[in-house]
Structure 1
């Protein structure tokens, strides 16, 4: 097994672990509906609860987007397209892929 194969296996394992962690977070999502009964909760408390709910929903959307990007990386690994820039087709630096395996562009094309 070559160093490149070992690196690819490590990256694939990292992606699978990240997807599992994000899916667990999504399953345990606690963005409950905010109670709007003014007789039970004060206005500022409701505003705070609404803000918390919106922040939770935004985090959920980010997690869902991240899962999709990571699943795309897994598909690229399986098809042999992983590690190549979508724009220019050049190889993406291995250090960049180790940092964020979902990247689809090299440094030059990102800038």
Structure 2
């Protein structure tokens, strides 16, 4: 998944934040792996490291239905198995690319 996300967009960079791989766009953390719980892959979609006050007008359409909203501008994609990762990799990469510019 990491390789596919990085290969999909030259403007997306990666570093380690919160002890996990985190993808940045324009120098801002936007999508971060959640490494616990183990035995599953979770990606947290966020708009930076801190809570933002300007969430009132933020809208993001998820045609995949994979995102579970934790807050108006924060969501998680939960992939509970390697099969789920393989089955949804293309959808997740598309979500990441749309999210980083939203």
**Of the two, which has the highest radius of gyration?**
1
Which structure: greater helix fraction?
Answer: 1
**TM-score bracket, shorter-length normalisation:** under 0.3
When normalised by structure 2's length, the TM-score is: 0.27
- Relative to its length, the structure with more strand (as a share) is 2
